[in-house]
Amino acid sequence: MDSPDDRSLRVVVVDDHRMFADSLVRLLREEADFDVLDACVDTASALKSIVEKEPDVALVDYQLPDGNGVDLTRALLARVPHLRVVMLTGQSDDGLLLRAIEAGVSGFLTKDQAASVLTDSLRQVARGESLMAPEELRRVMRRVARSPVPSRELLSERERDVLRLMAAGLTTKMVAERLFLSVNTVRNYSQSVLTKLGAHSKLEAVAIATREGILQPDDYA
């Protein structure tokens, strides 16, 4: 499959507020590098559409009439593992954020984001980056942190370095510069981390690593 860098970024919007969804679709279609494949109003139609169309990114509202965005994310990633899910939420409840991260979301946006922020954020996620403020991530991860354990050795020292810096909010390019590595090498380390931890996103990898004692929240302060 071609990378999003080689073609239009394919998106499916999932939101039951039709006026908001329609305005979002219009906004994205004004951007030359976006291809909006569908707009769905519930989990059932979203699951069917996304499995069939295999977009790069799904922009999913947390509250849906027949379920919620967390359960939908889990179901989607079980069927479309390469999918990046961005959750729309007006809530800052740490429990909700943690459940979403552990389901595999790549980041969060609020419905009042400026148009330029929203489009740039979706491009960032499509490149494999995460969308969450480092201080917010640390706060949420303190809910699951445990003392360091021997499973730290599951990841190499360099893999832990890469994951720690990404948790601190650095992009792939910034991590490469900090560690004096090529961008491709950092991407390879990132993919190795996801594979070893069984994670769908970098945020989920941080959550697993923190829960297992591989990382501590203060490691990425």
Give the per-residue pLDDT at 3. 56
Q: What average pLDDT values come out for the chain (221 residues) when binned by 10 residues?
A: 70 93 93 95 96 97 93 96 92 84 94 88 93 88 70 80 92 95 95 93 92 83 62
Ordered by where they begin, the domains of the chain are 4-131 (3.40.50.2300), 138-220 (1.10.10.10)
Give the per-residue pLDDT at 124. 94
Give the per-residue pLDDT at 152. 52
Three-state DSSP string of the chain: CCCHHHCCEEEEEECCCHHHHHHHHHHHHCCCCEEEEEEECCHHHHHHHHHHHCCCEEEEECEECCEEHHHHHHHHHHHCCCCEEEEECCCCCHHHHHHHHHHCCCEEECCCCCHHHHHHHHHHHHCCCCECCHHHHHHHHCCCCCCCCHHHHHCCHHHHHHHHHHHCCCCHHHHHHHHCCCHHHHHHHHHHHHHHHCCCCHHHHHHHHHHCCCCCHHHHC
pTM: 0.84
Give the per-residue pLDDT at 90. 74
Give the per-residue pLDDT at 101. 93
